[in-house]
């Protein structure tokens, strides 16, 4: 048997390739793709997941930034008729143009996983669910419950847009080269538009959450005042929402933040 001549892994593109077939199977099982579904894969790499995705779904769009990997994949998987390979930066891709119901399955490049997640949340009307590999620490923050150490800006914003489960952990040994940190598979189910505010309300929500968590050790009142909110306006919003300004941000639920934002930025 000859060893395939893989392009050399590039750290700057977050290339840690999945080499454990059991994990590949578990990801595909969790994705539970139906034959009529469309899949978006970000960073197909050497195609560890791509082959299985093409077998399970109607169409797969795979976006890879690395020219050499793109050429390699064209050679290896070019015969899959339902695969569309694109060379490019996923951060610049118009995800909102994807057909509604698209399923995203990816082992994300860790260096850009958070901005990619938010870009995907912005395109939620096109996306049904996402099965993603991320750093374990990011996964724990994404599912972080109110009042815990992991609960912060990322948890509140992500849980505002989606219901998120940590599906299973993945050891460093399942990749080559081995990453420095453990990983996890998360399943994200996007909330429908009618439970989410209008775009300008979302902006206000994000602003309030970031201000509240600005100084983790300070009270809500102090943290938000430091971020530029007027004390009197804050006091009155706290009174109307029955959220005490002496509380700390990590004790507020996603709904509390939403109520507070509406009170501070009425229509
Ligand atoms: N899916 C493969 C696997 O599981 O073995 C590779 C996963 S590797 C963690 C991340 C992949 O994303 C690499 O192939 C990398 O070149 C690609 N990538 C990095 N940044 C990207 C970007 N901005 N747009 C598209 N692909 C990107």
Structure confidence at residue 22 (pLDDT):
98
Write out the residue range of the structural domain in which residue 142 sits: 11-195
Clarify whether residues 15 and 140 are in a common domain.
Answer: yes
Confidence of residue 200 (pLDDT cuts 50, 70, 90): confident
The model's pLDDT over 217-226, given as tens digits with 9 standing for 90+, comes to 899 999 999 9
Average confidence score pLDDT of the chain? 94
**Residue 1 lies inside a defined structural domain of this protein:** no
**Residue 6 lies inside a defined structural domain of this protein:** no
Clarify whether residues 186 and 241 are in a common domain.
Answer: no
Closest C-alpha to 157, from 233, 249, 41:
249
Structure confidence at residue 2 (pLDDT):
45
From 148, 168, 195, the end of a domain falls on 195
Cβ neighbours of 182 (radius 10 Å): 15
**Candidate of 109, 110, 170 to mutate for ligand 1, largest count of ligand atoms within 8 Å of Cβ:** 109
Structure confidence at residue 11 (pLDDT):
87
Residues flanking ligand 1, CB < 6 Å? 13-18, 42-46, 48-49, 63-66, 69, 89-91, 107, 109, 112
Task: State yes or no: pLDDT of 3 exceeds 60.
Answer: no
Q: How many angstroms separate the CA atoms of 142 and 162, rounded?
A: 10
Q: How many domains, the chain?
A: 2
Across 144-166, b (16+ Cβ under 10 Å) vs e yields beeeeebbbebbbbbbbbbebee
**Candidate of 16, 17, 40, 45 to mutate for ligand 1, largest count of ligand atoms within 8 Å of Cβ:** 45
**Residue 2 lies inside a defined structural domain of this protein:** no
Structure confidence at residue 217 (pLDDT):
87
Coil, helix or strand for 40? strand
**Residue 126 lies inside a defined structural domain of this protein:** yes
What are 258's two structure tokens?
């939403």
From 169, 195, 221, the end of a domain falls on 195
Closest CA to ligand 1's atom 10: 109
């Amino acid at each position: 048997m000859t060893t395939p001549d893989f392009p050399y892994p590039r750290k700057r593109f977050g290339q840690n390739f999945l080499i454990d077939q059991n994990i590949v199977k578990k990801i595909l099982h969790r994705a539970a793709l139906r034959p009529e579904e469309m899949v978006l894969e970000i960073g197909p790499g050497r195609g560890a997941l791509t082959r299985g995705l093409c077998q399970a779904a109607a169409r797969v769009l795979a976006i890879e930034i690395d020219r050499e990997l793109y050429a390699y994949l064209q050679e290896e998987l070019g015969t899959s008729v339902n695969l569309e390979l694109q060379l490019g930066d996923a951060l610049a891709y118009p995800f909102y143009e994807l057909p509604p119901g698209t399923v995203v399955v990816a082992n994300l490049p860790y260096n850009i996983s958070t901005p990619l997640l938010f870009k995907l949340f912005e395109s939620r009307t096109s996306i049904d669910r996402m099965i993603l590999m991320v750093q374990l620490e990011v996964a724990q923050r994404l599912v972080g419950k109110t009042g815990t150490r992991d609960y912060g800006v990322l948890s509140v914003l992500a849980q505002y847009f989606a219901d998120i489960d940590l599906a299973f952990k993945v050891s460093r040994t399942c990749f080559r080269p081995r990453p420095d940190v453990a990983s996890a598979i998360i399943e994200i189910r996007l909330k429908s538009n009618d439970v989410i505010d209008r775009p300008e309300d979302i902006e206000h929500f994000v602003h309030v959450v970031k201000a509240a968590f600005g100084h983790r050790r300070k009270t809500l009142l102090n943290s938000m005042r430091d971020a530029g909110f007027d004390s009197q306006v804050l006091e009155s919003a706290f009174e109307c929402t029955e959220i005490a300004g002496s509380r700390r941000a990590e004790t507020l639920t996603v709904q509390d933040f939403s109520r507070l934002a509406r009170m501070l930025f009425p229509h």
